[in-house]
Structure 1
């Protein structure tokens, strides 16, 4: 929980405190005046009043995309917002390598991929591939890390098999496809499979990432850590080193 003093905030649009917001959504209706009126009514039920439809675009014959602008009267208090803060030091690649060398006395093995039908490898490649993300090199760049990138559409049994074969210290899974909560179902399936295949003391760290995950739901999904949008390779590497050395010492 943050330590900010209590202060109620309202959105800022044109002037301070005006409460103006902009939202977008799609309705399963062909574009028409009725569809625009329906979009405005939905926005009003969301607490936007007055609601002005500022953009409407047909998305094929049966759907319309809307952008609505208007005022909300809700306030928010940042002092009661709960978030998952980073609880480990952020290390440079050189510090990560040194920590692995002295703390584990062997290379740290990471197995990663996209499970289920997810074919979007941009996220997992940003963390694992040497080219990295946001100006940081990926985990393949770290001398003391062995990285096995399985790519896309990896079945959970194959992921478990590879983790066993490689004696993985950590398993990283990216999930971008979220229709019908596929990312949550796949993560729960993976977690259950690893708990069945490994004794508790030997189970690799299970780390998942993707834009639609809630960082606070790691225990509920049965994983050790959840990373969301904007995560860099350095954050992941620092977390792995911190947790694995902590586990080894306990």
Structure 2
């Protein structure tokens, strides 16, 4: 009887990379690893630039040398495309859709989940997916779909800290962990303050693109996240820099 196909879901965060390292170390079957890259627009990735550089210049070449086939998916839809689209019905018809809602992200749905679902429909029935969920994430482990989703981290008793150490030892720990403990697009409404401050400090070109979107009139919502406009966050960081300037001069 022919064995099922085995794929790994890959974000290039520590947990998904650790799952692949464990598969190679323990001789687990692995036919390919699937990564979906969310795009800001047609040319700019939604990945934090340091993470995208790590993905394409370090991680993918390293995994391919290990014999792992990498499948990169992208949606035709982008963050900007969704942002600038117009509402087609209801009381807000004609307005610019603008910032995605926290907890109900159209970007996650249209730019990531749908391309992955389309790809999965091309896979053989019974395909098994390795997911990067650690032993100490019990609530997430309980949501796995029977034998079709498997956590190798749980199988080999690897916690999130163990995954970190395994990737670090292998030279496959993303540089984003220097300023955040989570993965996510640089325009994510759930981004933590540290992530936004990093973007403001190190990627002013991307920051400026968000301010340009904020300035578009006729939006459904002006808020970037649950409480603030993106321009409010910009003003807050500018004020922090202004307050810090006299202290630095002294």
Range of TM-score over shorter length: under 0.3
Output the TM-score relative to the length of structure 2.
Answer: 0.27
Which has the larger Rg?
Answer: 1
RCO higher in 1 or 2 (8 Å CA, sep ≥ 6)?
Answer: 2
Task: Give the structure with the larger helix fraction.
Answer: 2
Bigger strand fraction: 1
TM-score, scaled relative to structure 1 = 0.27
